[in-house]
Structure 1
Amino acid sequence: MHSPPADPLKSGWYAALGTLQRMASLPQQPQQFSQDWQQLQQNPSQFFAGLVTEGAVVAEALEATCQQFSGRAWGDRPLPKYINRPNDQSFLQPYELKNTQLFGFVLEGSLAQLQKLCDRSLNQPADGSVHYQVAIPYVILSFQHMGRVSSLNPPDANRGFLSEKEVAIWVLTLAGKKCGPVFRAERLAWFIPYMFASNEPIIASGREVCGFPKELGKFKLPDLNQLTQPAHLQALTWKTLSPQTPARWETLIQVQAAEPQSEPIKRWQTAAEAGRHLVELLLSGQNAIDIPGWELPFSLADDLLTGEVPIVLLKQFRDVVRGDRACYQAIVETPAQLTALQAGGLLGAEHLGYQFTVAIGQFASHPLVQDLGLTTQGSSLQPDSPLQVPVKFAFWVDFDFQLQNGQIIWEARR
């Protein structure tokens, strides 16, 4: 029960709110008018006190709503403390990833299809708050092994470390603002639409903390000393999408190399050298990419390996009550910072070095070729057999890096 305030101005404000509240309820309770009129004649002070009490409830609700809106608008909502458990699978960030050996295979895609993928996953949810534009018509297919993955913050920094195998698709985008047809690029960002990992803590930490679209995979990674031995990724797939289709473990991606036509082409001594060489290869044979306010080739060379380049992801969780809705949805950018480059080099390009081919299976649950608009070669005798995708060039790097705390670029509001 609210007691009448001593301040006459506040009492008048509460009485006015109470009057508005009663007027709003008259269509549903028409008899209330005669009851109020009778009470006003018999006991005016009691009638006024009732209006003040009802108005105080309305004022309290309005104040709570304003505080909630203000907190959301300014990003200062108090967050509940995370409840740690001894067997928790979601590790506290930031993360350190050491002894990482990555094999990268550059595949040609379609700018239009890649942009559709970015629009669906990033631009449409953000609804104009930020815009991601695909920078180049190529994607990087990576096979990587991280020898030591651990948290940098206690208490999880004291729990130990994991080793991890992963396969991922990387799409280079330019992040910025779009006003009508005019796009103003501000920074580079790697978008990852597909990612596969070998153990549950890495999957849980990646998805729950950062929003990586990680799913379980089985791997045979490339071997630098035996590159002609096939490497592959197996995933839990559905050939078609129907109530009768069982899930099966199938080979989704296989990488095959022919015997080299020459010795390994180039070995990199520094991260800056690697970045410049990769940019030259990515842009070779392409028309200059002209975006106002953005010198793409120079920025790529500076940031591709040497800078702190963010990874942009759609972080979301399905709602428990309404399964077609997200209880949380946000566009997040998590910076990846190179800390050391031990070695690296080019494995093959055009008619030099190893000649790689990537075979990608056709599964309705994993439409990689369609989503990425990948260029394929040859025609298959069987419509469901894997599609052969040529490799523009292949490289490897052995490095350490850190995955820093992320930044919320856009967040859905209730």
Structure 2
Amino acid sequence: MARQAARRETPARLRLWVTVTVLTAIALLASTSVLMARVQDQVRAIGEDAAPRAATAADLYFALSDMDAQVARLVLTTGNDSLAGSQIDALGTYRERGRQVDADLQRLMGSGGIVLDLMNDLSIYRERVWQALTAGDGAAGYYTQATNVLHLDLLPAAERLRELSEERLDRAYEAKQATGIGAVASAVALGLLLVGLLLALQIWLARRFRRLFNPALIAATVLTVAVVAPAVTVLIVQEQRLTAARNDSLRPFLALSSARAVSYDAAADTSRYLISDNLAFYKQDFDRKSAFLDGASGLPAAAAGRDVSPYQTDQVLTRWRAYRQAHERILTLADQGRDASAIGYLTGIRRGDAAFDFSYYDAAVAEIAAGRADAFDDAMRTTSQLLTGWPWIPVGVLGMVVLLVPLSVRKRFAEYR
């Protein structure tokens, strides 16, 4: 009777082993596949939405700052035939920046009423610019109105939009990080549980049925390890790559874009000083912006990093200081009443002129910014490639495990028929 009872108990225990093991395999399959797909979607959202929005918002602030700087050059050169080349250059750059601003605003649609407010204020600004360029002797008054709209309405709104975009980017990173941690924890916990169940079932079968090896269970164990270990590795590596891309490329890019915009606005203060008949406010405003750019949190930090050579950083700082010296010379000429010389030195586009010095500085900044943008894009591309196929790989591999477990005990059940 004891042997009969044990005989009836064995199939039930075997059925329980198989059921628990198969359900664990299904749970591992579902969680790994779903979470991998979620991570893949979040990486795509960062690379195609959150990061480009943050970069676009930074670009918008820069483009608005340069627009006003070019308008100031146009006001200063209008009616002076000897500065026709500078006027054409300023007009072309103003139009280019205008198209850049319009494109940025289009890409940022959906960010709430702040974009609509920006569009409204931009139309007012452009109206004041048109009046300044056609008013003749009254140009200075209209330009003052235009630059007030820029500094009181447009730039603060662009700054707010930039902050919102960066907050959105941070939230996207945090959400992906949380999903990645959950995916790793789930894969490790369920993977270890499944491997433990498969090994325990192998040992139990060996003791109960005197079968030392079960090829199907061995294959299922190998397949489980073969999918869990790479999945965990992929999740860890993609997290490391994206974190490095944000810290070493994206954040430095955004910081440099911000500093670049401040430098453009500072350069426009040089022109504003001449337009306003040496109003001290613009001198003080330039000094304030220059102090920020020269400070530890300005260009020395924004233009430096592991991705930048010391030579590149030095070029940015040296060229900015050269423009700052040009600014001082222009103000000195203006204070001496030599306005024509000051305007010629400011707006000229030949080597040695202030406009050339600033363009030379900006080229060094643009080189670093482009390198950082390319590095971030490369990191996003390689991360996406790393995750390719992973929502489906667990389905194929663990699906085979689900089939192998019942197959491994089919002959054992046949002994009780």
Q: Which band: TM-score by shorter chain?
A: under 0.3
Higher helix share: 2
Structure number, greater radius of gyration = 2
Q: What TM-score does the superposition give when structure 2 sets the normalisation length?
A: 0.26
Greater RCO, 1 or 2 (C-alpha within 8 Å, sep 6+): 2
Higher strand share: 1
Q: What TM-score does the superposition give when structure 1 sets the normalisation length?
A: 0.26
